[in-house]
């Protein structure tokens, strides 16, 4: 059997303006550890993830290597890519670095499939169960994202902010990360991406630039995205439990 390769592209390029802090949120402490530590630790401990491309501001390279990667022994990080001004640019930069490492080959180790997991470092509750479900899904479909069924009723508004539609709740999922793809598919789609399109996640890139369907796999309701100071407090309560 040909050996698969699973690479994580971990995005840590944000500045966290909604945090109201001079410290980028990926370096803010959550229960005594930098926020970035949590996803890196999940990658390091994972039996699924083989290696990791960390995407961060180029000016932070030395800090990240000394204060996080070397300090905590995160040796699955094989390269650090420069963050872009937008999330989609950061992902594309990570894919380009991965392509350089792989010398343009499409396959993984020993010619097997190569899957790319794209993860926001602000979702600190990444765990092996989510990773494994995503791997099972991408083996079957080639493109999946972690998501959870919506518990609330969703309202769609028009240009005047008046409610114009109420989609069936059974068909609404809340997207999370990781979002996982066959490497050739996601690379080809990101090669076509540019600022003319509104791009907020990786599944959206595949939806825009290919006919390949993307499927949800069960994430975790605890897998929230840290965006505001209140979110850090919520995460610390989860960790205390």
| pLDDT above 70 as % of the chain | 94
Which domain range does residue 118 map to? 5-240
Lowest mean pLDDT among 5-19, 59-73, 154-168, 216-230: 5-19
* Structure-token pair, residue 8: 């994580």
Q: Please state the domain count of the chain.
A: 1
Residues with Cβ within 8 Å of residue 77, at least 6 apart in sequence: 40, 43, 51, 52, 53, 54, 69
Q: The whole model's pTM is what?
A: 0.94
- Integer Cα distance of 13 and 128 in angstroms: 24
Count other C-beta atoms under 10 Å from residue 18's C-beta. Answer: 12
Phi, psi of 215 (to 5 degrees): -115, 145
**pLDDT tens, residue by residue, 67-123:** 999 999 999 999 999 999 999 999 999 999 999 999 867 776 667 899 999 999 999
pLDDT of residue 241: 81
pLDDT band of residue 172 (cuts 50, 70, 90) is very high
Here the CATH number for the domain that contains residue 210 is 3.90.550.10
pLDDT of residue 145: 98
**pLDDT tens, residue by residue, 193-227:** 998 899 999 999 999 999 999 999 999 999 999 99
3-state DSSP assignment of residue 77 = strand
Burial 147-180, CB ≥16 within 10 A → b, else e: bbeeeeeeeeeeeeeeeeeeeeeeeeebbbbbbb
- Is the pLDDT at 19 greater than 90? The verdict is no
Count other C-beta atoms under 10 Å from residue 30's C-beta. Answer: 20
Lowest mean pLDDT among 7-16, 118-127, 164-173, 215-224: 7-16
pLDDT of residue 25: 87
pLDDT band of residue 20 (cuts 50, 70, 90) is low
β-bridge mates for residue 147, sequence order: 175, 218
- Burial of 188 from C-beta contacts in 10 A (0-12 / 13-18 / 19+): middle
pLDDT of residue 17: 60
């Amino acid at each position: 059997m040909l050996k698969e390769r699973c690479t994580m592209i971990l995005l840590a390029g944000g500045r966290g303006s909604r945090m109201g802090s001079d410290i980028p949120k990926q370096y803010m402490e959550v229960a005594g550890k930098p926020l970035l530590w949590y996803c890196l630790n999940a990658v390091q401990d994972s039996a699924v993830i083989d290696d990791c491309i960390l995407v961060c501001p180029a000016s932070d390279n030395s800090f990240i290597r000394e204060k996080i990667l070397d300090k905590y022994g995160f040796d699955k990080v094989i390269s650090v890519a420069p963050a872009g001004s937008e999330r989609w640019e950061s992902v594309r930069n990570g894919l380009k670095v991965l392509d350089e490492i792989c010398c343009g080959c499409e396959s993984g180790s020993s010619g097997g499939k190569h899957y790319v997991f794209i993860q926001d470092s602000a979702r600190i509750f990444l765990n092996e169960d989510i990773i494994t479900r995503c791997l099972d899904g991408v083996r079957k479909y080639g493109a999946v994202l972690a998501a959870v069924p919506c518990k609330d009723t969703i309202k769609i508004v028009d240009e005047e902010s008046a409610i114009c539609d109420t989609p069936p709740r059974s068909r609404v999922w809340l997207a999370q990360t990781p979002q996982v793809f066959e490497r050739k598919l996601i690379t080809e789609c990101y090669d076509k991406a540019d600022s003319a399109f509104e791009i907020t996640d990786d599944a959206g890139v595949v939806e825009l630039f290919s006919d390949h369907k993307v499927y949800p796999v069960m994430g975790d309701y605890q897998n929230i995205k840290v965006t505001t100071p209140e979110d850090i407090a919520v995460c610390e309560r989860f960790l205390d439990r």
